[in-house]
Amino acid sequence: MQENRIAPPARIQRNLLAIGERRLLDWLCARMPAWVKPDLLTGLGMVGAVLIFAGYATSLLDEDWLWLCIPGYLLHWFGDSMDGSLARFRHIERPRYGYFLDHSCDGIATFLILLGIGVSPYVRLEVSLIAMVGYLLLCIHAFLAVRVLGEMRLSYLNAGPTELRLILITLTFAMLVLGDKQRDMEAMTGFDWFVGSVGVVLIGLFVVQTARSVRKLARIEPAK
């Protein structure tokens, strides 16, 4: 009995670092030992997310724990970017399994990272949750677009997950240099305004992209 296969969605990736990142990932894939499997890389990405959460959370005790976030971000990038790349490079894709596992782990990792930022002494939890809502709304839009448009959008405003990680790494360095642990103060800090603004932008992107997709679908399926 022939296995049912699904056609892969068209990948839309226009982030600033896409070309250079793709060359690097292809170079790494060609040199990856045979014992390294996509699932192992997915697991490494999740270890990175846990390290990021731990770094932010333990900064309550000492700001030097923030340094733990930096290798966490690098490990998360490596695992999250390489798992699917390696599977495609070796032609061992499992479309349903990989899609489900990868995006499930992405959701958990996003939750851990933004929760960690929210429980740190630098950003209020409610502000971090706004960013989490915005990111997850964009994820919902991407998942719906795969189903109804057959396209997987991996970037918005020329930025994708890699650019977001670089922004968060920069934010972490700013916490180390400029942060004074104003968590309990009534006034909003610069970190609060930055993270909250990013969340508002992400929510706005979700609204705009949803409207565009609805108009496109209306042309494909006009009212009768």
Give tens-digit pLDDT for 70-110.
999 999 999 998 998 999 899 998 888 988 998 899 999 99
Q: Which pLDDT score is estimated for 3? A: 46
Which CATH number characterizes residue 146's domain? 1.20.120.1760
- Amino acid at the residue 60: L
Chain segment 170-186, per-residue pLDDT in tens: 999 999 888 765 555 56
**Residue predicted with more confidence, 187 or 168:** 168
Give the residue from 29, 42, 164, 36 showing the smallest Cα distance to 102.
Answer: 42
**Residue predicted with more confidence, 189 or 74:** 74
Contacts of 68 (CB under 8 A, 6+ apart): 51, 52, 54, 55, 58
pLDDT over 70 percentage in the chain: 88
* Spatial separation of the C-alpha atoms in residues 15 and 104, rounded to whole Å: 22
In a domain, 74, yes or no: yes
Strand partners, 153: 12
In a domain, 174, yes or no: yes
Q: Which pLDDT score is estimated for 186? A: 67
Domain count, the chain: 1
Band the pLDDT of 8: cuts 50, 70, 90. low
Mean pLDDT, residues 136-150 = 85
In a domain, 97, yes or no: yes
Mean pLDDT, residues 46-60 = 95
Q: Which pLDDT score is estimated for 16? A: 73
Band the pLDDT of 1: cuts 50, 70, 90. very low
In a domain, 91, yes or no: yes
Mean pLDDT, residues 155-163 = 75
In a domain, 5, yes or no: no
User: In whole numbers, what is the pLDDT of the chain averaged over residues?
Assistant: 86
Contacts of 108 (CB under 8 A, 6+ apart): 46, 49
Contacts of 219 (CB under 8 A, 6+ apart): none
Mean pLDDT, residues 146-155 = 75
Using the CB atoms, write b or e for 38-76: b if 16+ within 10 Å.
Answer: beebbebbbebbbbbbbbbbbbeeebebbebbbebbebb
What domain range is 75 assigned to? Answer: 16-220
Task: Give backbone dihedrals phi and psi of 159, rounded to 5 degrees, phi first.
Answer: -130, 140
